Amino acid sequence: MKFDAVLFDCDGVLVDSEPITNGVLRQMLNEAGWPLTQAECERIFIGKAVRDERTRIELETGQPLTDEWMRAFYERRNQRLMAELQAVAGALDAVVAAHRHTAGRIACASGADRPKVVMQIGMAGMAPYFEDRIFSGHDLPRSKPHPDVYLAAAAHLGVDPARCLVVEDTATGVQAGLAAGATVWGYCQHGDGRAFQGLPVARVMHHMGELAAAL
C-alpha cells in the first residue's frame, strides 16, 4: 500500500530513551516512598505521560504530585538523556525513506512533552526531516491511548488518517493509532510482539530498517 503520510511515535521508535526516562522516574518514585522495581515501572508508565498516572502516584507515595516535583523530574531526566541518548538502530534510515516515500509528509506524534521530543529528534540527527511537524499529547485535551495527537498530526499534513501509517512500540500507542483510523505497524526490538496481542497491527517489525526496506 502507498501511504500518503507516515506518523512516528518518538520514544522507543526513533530513540532508545525509555530505559533512561524510566530509570530516572523509578529512582524518584523510590525516593518519594514508592518502592518500584524497574520492570514494574516500565509496565505502569511506558507509553503514558507521568501526569496521566497522577492518582496512582499520589496513592502510592502519600504525597501530591506537584509542579515542583515534575520540574525536578524533567531536569534530571533531560540531564541523563543529553548524556546517554542513542537513536534506535535503523531509525534514521526509516525516517529518510518515509520522507522520500511521502514527499515530506511525515510527523512525530508523541505522548511525551514537546520540549523533550524536539531535543531527542535533534540529538538523533532527524530534525531536518521533521522540521516543525512534532506533536505532543501534552498539548491536546487527551493523550494516548486516545487518538488526538495522531488526528492533529494528520490534519496538519492535510492527509486522511486512513491514508496514514503509524509506527508504534507500545499497546497504548497502537490503540491511539487505531482509534485515529490509521494503519499501524508495531515495532518490537525484543520478543515476539506479545505487547500487541489482541490489537490489529498490520505488521510487527523487529528492526526499524524493515520500514525503510518496505517503503
* Cβ proximity of 49 and 111 under 8 Å: yes
Give the pLDDT score at 71: 95
Cell, residue 93: 534510515
* Cβ proximity of 105 and 132 under 8 Å: no
How far is 195 from 172, CA to CA, in rounded Å?
A: 10
Helix (H, G, I), strand (E, B) or coil at 187: strand
Q: What is the pTM of this model?
A: 0.89
- Ranges of the chain with pLDDT below 70: 1, 191-193
Give the pLDDT score at 192: 64
